[in-house]
Chain A
């Protein structure tokens, strides 16, 4: 932050964090709206569970673990910042990114499998919601990977030092993406 502006800080919390929280607040309403719509429409229409049963449960489960682990590595990366351990920071960020990419690959694989079996987005209302919600989530994961990558590159280039709080911000976002999936998975795969 610009030094002169900084002298005026009124809340204890740094601006970046405040902004990030407001951002997440509105992000929550995006998925909140989708999920609410899904539930409402679903209550109104019978015979969804068989459509849901067509999903590849095991792959979904694997992906859930992948994301959960990535959250863990993200936490570790943040911890590494606190412990002034740039090497740890890089490794853990690297892992987080890899896990994110793993998630996306598996998801793509899953989509492929459903397509070949004819479950396209046009295959009915369940599939509309399935592709709509997981697709939007996947985009968020991708965005998260990009953000993390940017931070990692900065870390590798040793230019992260003044902006290390960015690791925490990236972390906040990454956890959010993670939590969204924790909602989507049971809603889509387990009902």
Chain B
């Protein structure tokens, strides 16, 4: 398991298979995760189109699809959630950026276990395949919600879904295994393969965030894996873990799911915040504000995230006396995030800010995530949650957290590291078009959902017009749908830009953004082994605008005798 760097990865020229498919190179593996993630993003985007059309114009044919039966609507919602969280957010934010950046940023040649790394992406591909298949088995795909609460999910007759749900569980199991392997790799790599001089407190913040995320994932997913096995056994082995008629306990699943589920949302949040934290200093040309407080806040939030899970279960029937402790821990978690948010804002202060597409998306992430975070406080207050639980207020809350995290931060990262990943620049103008349309239509779509929520509109209903008290607000649903369709169309510029730049984009220099972290002193794209010579690290990663230096940046691996060589780039 632990001998590294299969020879072909480093020495003799690898053939097609080893270059593109069975590569052990962390950069190729990152691209494989990215491709799978973007593929699923398209599928996820399509489910959104069906969901939204059905909600706006129920009982009508969806253009290009047809009628949507209520049980198929449940399938759509379930698969949308599952796909977006586990097959878009995870592979892009951890699989792609984690794999690509960690070795480069710590000055390593590759991950500690390249073979394990390859295995992880292939297990993930298998999980993807199984999830895709589950759409086509008789009985259709899983339809018990992405949270899969039993008994609904535990017995076939409750949903009519048989193999769909079993495969759904299997796909989860495999995806968890895949990211467990990645986690082991991330942590071991960062602990053992740091370049000389790269002490822990010289790590770029995104590495800290990726590592914290990995730990959160590895320590929270275990119980759910056990829980998933129990659920699968209930379905196929006749056990009764979650079935009261057999002495089982339905709420047990909810505890296991959310004990993982809440840390999980930070597993995707932290790498995204990391991306923002990497981009902001570069485009404000000044050091990050409060490196240490950010690191400690991240760790504090990570620890707290293990003791908040029951805020998803305030009215689940669990002992009401439990609600208040969880409510308190939940709301307190705003403190570390407040610090991170303010550190970001303070980084802007007195900067010299240039609005590249990457920077725009980074700022967009911050601006929109704030709404998601602040509305989390409403949910976190147990009495308020009695009313807004399972309404669109919650739906909007978690889209104002997950969409910034997945798409805004994801796009920011892509526009920023694209030159390093593919060796070419993306087209800025088109990128800015993409940003503004995405930003506008996203808010246009989700702000009204808060109002629908406070008016009491429930989640996971296929047809709002079945309820008298919701009829008056159907026009809002239509408005949202229009905005969402425009939001989806706003992704076309990105797709064009992305695919076009990959082949036609201007060839990128090593350090197009004049940034400090180590990946920028490798070639674009870096070859196998990443660095010509093992870099030596002299300082923290955010030394921008140092008065003593001629340029306004000072790479981590450049000795501090005023620069001998010519500038590596003018942009």
Contact = CB atoms under 8 A, between A and B. Distances in A.
Chains A and B touch each other in the complex, with CB atoms below 8 Å apart: yes
Contact of B240 (A1, A9, A25, A125): A125
Contact of A44 (B183, B221, B241, B249): B249
Interface string B106-128: 01111011001000000000000
A26 B218 contact: yes
Contact of A121 (B116, B180, B233, B534): B233
Given A8-B107, A36-B223, A40-B252, A125 B112 contact: no
B230 A132 contact: yes
Interface string A113-140: 0000000111011111101100010000
B224 A33 contact: yes
B109 A45 contact: no
A132 B195 contact: no
A4 B248 contact: no
Contacts of A27: 222
Interface stretch (B35-43, B184-192, B361-369, B511-519): B184-192
A132 B107 CA distance: 44
Contacts of B107: 8
Given A128-B233, A131-B237, A32 B109 contact: no
B4 A5 contact: yes
A146 interface: no
Given A45-B247, A128-B241, A15 B222 contact: no
Contacts of B180: 23, 26
Interface string A30-45: 1111101100110011
B247 A124 contact: yes
Given A15-B192, A27-B222, A34-B226, A128 B240 contact: yes
A130 to B, nearest CB: 10
A150 B33 CA distance: 30
B286 interface: no
A29 B226 CA distance: 9
B3 A1 contact: yes
A163 B2 CA distance: 9
Interface residues of B, number: 54
Given A8-B107, A8-B108, A15 B224 contact: no
A28 interface: yes
Q: Classify the interface of chain A: helix, strand, loop or mixed.
A: helix
A122 B246 contact: yes
Interface in B197-238: 198, 218-227, 229-230, 233-234, 237-238
A169 interface: yes
Contact of A32 (B184, B223, B227): B223
B462 to A, nearest CB: 33
A26 B221 contact: yes
Contact of A11 (B192, B198, B234): B192
B508 interface: no
A156 interface: no
Given A2-B109, A19-B185, 14 more contacts: A2-B10, A8-B107, A11-B192, A14-B2, A14-B192, A19-B2, A26-B183, A37-B252, A44-B249, A124-B240, A136-B226, A136-B229, A162-B3, A163-B3
Interface of A: 1-2, 4-5, 7-11, 13-16, 18-20, 22-23, 25-34, 36-37, 40-41, 44-45, 120-122, 124-129, 131-132, 136, 162-163, 165-166, 169
15 contacts: A1-B5, A5-B112, A8-B195, A9-B192, A15-B193, A16-B2, A19-B2, A19-B113, A26-B218, A29-B221, A33-B224, A33-B256, A37-B230, A41-B249, A132-B230
Interface of B: 1-5, 10, 107-110, 112-113, 116, 180, 183-185, 187-188, 191-196, 198, 218-227, 229-230, 233-234, 237-241, 246-249, 252, 256, 259, 529, 534
